[in-house]
Chains A and B, each alone.
Chain A
Amino acid sequence: MSDAGISRLETHLGRLLRGGVLSSAGCLAAGLALFLTRAAPSIANALLTAGLMILMATPILRVVVSLVEYARMRDWLFVTTTLVVLIVLFVTIGVAVHNVKPG
């Protein structure tokens, strides 16, 4: 359990979260602007969907990055902890896919 490992992980996570939220906000802003002008509804929709997907993917990626880093640190207790969280999130995605409404 090295403090250096943990602070490297924090730096990675900070970068990931910032990148995720910025790219998501960019897509959402562009999508919303296009949506309001009604110029290209399909592009507007695609941008809005992409923005929301990136937003939802960011915390999941954060858990995946943590898993990799804990494995590199050989911190098996927290590899297990992180794996359990990831499994719950996969169940959520499974339920979501099951619930998709056609159209």
Chain B
Amino acid sequence: MTLSVVIAVIAAGAVGGCLGSLLGLGGGVFLVPFLNVGLGFEFKVAAAVSLMTVIATSSVVSAGTAGRQLINLRLGMLLEIMSTIGGLTLGVLVEHMSETLLNRLFATVTAAIAVLMLSRLERRNVLEAEADPGPLGGRFYESESGREVVYRVRRLPLALCASLVAGGVSGSLGIGGGILKVPILNAWCGVPMRAAAATSALMIGVTAVSSVPIQYARGYVIPPVAAAAVLGVLLGSSAGFWFGGRARAKWLKLLMAIVLGSVSLLYFVKGLR
């Protein structure tokens, strides 16, 4: 392990963290291919190291949003039952999965995320006024519109299923899984975008912890690599917050979709061999 590798990992973490905080998705989607393909680490090592950065991202983002009522703590905890079960199950099973299978899974998931991102380029949030948030809903003050937003959670079983899948993806591929949950919570379950993103950001930390200790015990978390990646992501996500709002979200999403599409293609080719 040389200085140049450490610097490369910090840089990769910083780029991933920056893009991640700009787009509200973890940096893992970039970090995993960079560590795996770029630096030649085994896929399971790349995924385990990436999960460590997911925990760091979750803690930092949630510490920043806490106190603004954006995080739906009750809904989050309920969904965490499913996401931790998904994470634990795949965290155990991943040991028996081949590199090829993991490559194909990664290709499929990144392709799905790219399509999701393209389909939501022009998406705006329309909120109906709801008087009673019910036991799981929430309310928060939205500074842009200057009013209180009240929402009720609908289609809870769908949210639970999405969380289970997101947990599995987190446990096997090392990406947070927020990218799968947030659009579903927002589009079908009635949770406003900002509340969905804040709740998901809190959840991904606990979800990661349902599998990463197992990978740590198996020796997949190489300490200096994980340290460099975590520090890089922390630097990058602070930079992302700073840039936030200056960049046009639509172009960022388009850029992301292109990058993800290329990553997906790369892994499809890798998975064919």
Residues on A facing B (Cβ under 8 Å):
1, 6-7, 9-11, 13-15, 17-18, 20-21, 24-25, 28-29, 31-32, 35-36, 45, 48-49, 51-52, 55-56, 58-60, 62-63, 66, 77-78, 81-82, 84-85, 88-89, 91-93, 95-101
Is B84 part of the binding interface, using a Cβ–Cβ cutoff of 8 Å?
A: yes
Complex contacts, A6 vs chain B, CB 8 Å: 73
| 23 residue pairs bridging A and B, Cβ less than 8 Å apart | A10-B66, A13-B73, A17-B59, A21-B60, A25-B230, A32-B227, A32-B228, A35-B1, A48-B227, A56-B212, A59-B209, A62-B205, A62-B206, A85-B81, A88-B84, A92-B84, A92-B91, A95-B91, A95-B213, A96-B213, A99-B214, A100-B217, A101-B218
Consensus secondary structure, chain A interface: helix
B208 adjacent to A14 (CB under 8 Å): no
Q: A56-B212, A85-B77, A95-B214 are in contact. Are A17 and B230 (CB under 8 A)?
A: no
Query: Known: A56-B55, A95-B214. Is A14-B62 also a contact (CB below 8 A)?
Result: yes
**Which residue from chain A places its CB closest to the CB of B222 in the assembled complex?**
A48
Determine how close the nearest CB of chain A comes to the CB of B159; give it in whole angstroms. 14
Q: How far is the CB of A80 from chain B (nearest CB, A)?
A: 10
A78-B77, A96-B213, A100-B217 given as contacts; is B231 within 8 A of A58 (CB)? no
Query: How far apart are B238's CB and chain A's nearest CB, in angstroms?
Result: 11
Whole-angstrom CA separation of A95 from B87 in the bound complex: 13
Please give the distance in Å from B5's CB to the nearest CB on chain A: 10
3 cross-chain pairs, A with B, having the tightest CB-CB distances, nearest first: A14-B66, A96-B213, A18-B63
